[in-house]
Amino acid sequence: MSTVTEISIYLIQAIANFYLLIVLIRLMLQLAKANFYNPISQFVVKATALPLTPLQKLLPPIKNFNSACLVLALLVQLIAIQASALVYSGALVPITASLSWALLGIASLMLNIYFYGLFIVIILSWVAPQSHNPLIALLWQLMDPVMAPFRKLIPPMGGLDLSPIVLFLLINVLRIFIRNVAGATQVIPLFVPGIM
């Protein structure tokens, strides 16, 4: 692979990963009923407003689930996969393969967001438990609904919350599953944003 090709694919993937992250956070904001007045939430809403506005007219939200966000994430994935394939080989990836790869990339990126978000929240709860930083507040709002069912299963013992450990285990099991499915569908990680 030439240097120009490698740089081109890197730029496609970096831009797609960044925008996918924003789109998936927008989806998570609505699912978690997070504070949309948080400055970071405001940025996410503004960064996704242009493509989401027409999509939301076609696909209105169902309760807290914004299906337009998921479709936008899928479109960004498909564009990144096909652009990377074109730059690499001059040919497009078949639509069935690119669609399955796109879904795996979205699932993988979503798991990574929860994994690292949870990790940051746990560390910050020890280091800066009373912080009023907007990023920390938003992370708590996004992670809390995911941890709530596990807190019901394993209530805090002596002030120590063990529910994140169970959630980490589940996330890692799902990551292994996605990695194996990606191998079975012959995903080319170079082409798919968010894939491990």
Supply the pLDDT for residue 188: 86
Whole-prediction pTM: 0.88
Cα–Cα distance list, 123 to 11, 65, 96 (Å): 31, 29, 41
- Give the pLDDT score at 129: 65
CA distances from 108 to 15, 46, 55, 56, 181 (A): 17, 25, 23, 24, 11
pLDDT averaged over consecutive 10-residue blocks of the chain (196 residues)?
A: 90 95 93 87 93 90 89 95 93 92 94 91 76 80 87 77 84 94 89 83
Phi, psi of 62 (to 5 degrees): -110, 105
Domain boundaries, the chain: 3-184
